[in-house]
Chains A and B, each alone.
Chain A
Amino acid sequence: EPEVTQTPSHQVTQMGQEVILRCVPISNHLYFYWYRQILGQKVEFLVSFYNNEISEKSEIFDDQFSVERPDGSNFTLKIRSTKLEDSAMYFCASKRTSGSSYEQYFGPGTRLTVT
């Protein structure tokens, strides 16, 4: 069964450094998402991406964040200058757009630790 994959599983970085989190969505999916979960808290929406552009973003997704689909398979989240409060689990998700299929399928997550 196809699944969303994410790399790396765990990333440790120093404050102020740039990080890129990578995701490979399910191949026939067209909507892509990034969510964040600070340890012990709820999962929060960051950004959605469709047709090679951002379709919606939350207040969390400020100028430090960017997303890209550099080729036909990868979907990346970049944080330009990491802060301590960026430490969280980052989930990528993808969704088909056809019909009433609104299930989003999540990847296993990348745990980002900023020191």
Chain B
Amino acid sequence: AQKVTQAQTEISVVEKEDVTLDCVYETRDTTYYLFWYKQPPSGELVFLIRRNSFDEQNEISGRYSWNFQKSTSSFNFTITASQVVDSAVYFCALVESGAGSYQLTFGKGTKLSVIP
């Protein structure tokens, strides 16, 4: 069973529009960690945020915000006033506390294209 689902394969928005990237996860652990990584066209993986399962506070960092809802097992990512530099593939990932070496389980990613 897929543990991290990113249903949106590709999204295109016009610059300055807001966009939300969806992430739904599945785990039996009561303690787990959720992440978002950005992969720009250059290919590297850039850490954006980590969220602990016991902390459901939403977080805002500049134009980025994250909405964590345990009731729906979702950890969505919103970019406000999108810019061309936001064009990238965004991966949601899960670490389960029961996974001995805390390896990341990634979703398939959402490719975001911001059109000028």
Segment among A20-28, A64-72, A73-81, A100-108 that sits at the interface with chain B: A100-108
List 20 additional contacts besides A42-B107, A103-B47; criterion CB under 8 Å: A33-B103, A33-B104, A35-B104, A41-B108, A43-B45, A45-B104, A45-B105, A48-B102, A55-B100, A56-B100, A56-B101, A89-B43, A95-B102, A103-B35, A103-B50, A104-B102, A105-B47, A106-B45, A106-B47, A108-B43
Distance between Cα atoms of A93 and B101 in the complex (Å): 12
- A44 close to B (CB within 8 Å): yes
Q: What separation, in Å, do the CA atoms of A91 and B95 have in the docked complex?
A: 17
Residues of chain A contacted by B105 (CB below 8 angstroms): 45
Q: Tell me the minimal C-beta distance from B108 to chain A in angstroms.
A: 4
Instruction: Give the CA-CA distance A41 to B9 in the complex, in Å.
Output: 11
Name the contact of A109 in the complex, choosing from B43, B50, B107 (C-beta under 8 A): B43
- Output the nearest chain A residue to B111 by Cβ-Cβ distance: A40
> What is the minimal beta-carbon distance from A17 to any residue of chain B, in angstroms?
23
CB <8 Å contact, B50 and A102: yes
Contact call A42/B101, Cβ cutoff below 8 A: no
Q: Are B45 and A91 neighbours in the complex by a CB distance under 8 Å?
A: yes
* A78-115 to B contact mask, C-beta < 8 Å, 1/0: 00000000000101010100001011111111010000
B43: chain A residues within 8 A (beta carbon): 89, 108-109, 111
Question: How many angstroms from the CA of A103 to the CA of B93 in the assembled complex?
Answer: 11
- Return chain B residues, CB-CB under 8 Å to A50: 101
A44-B106 CB under 8 A given contacts A102-B33, A106-B44, A108-B44: yes
Q: Which of B102, B105, B106 has the most CB of A within 10 A?
A: B102
Q: How far is the CA of A108 from the CA of B42 in the complex (A)?
A: 9
Within the complex, the shortest CB–CB distance from B114 to chain A, in Å, comes to 20
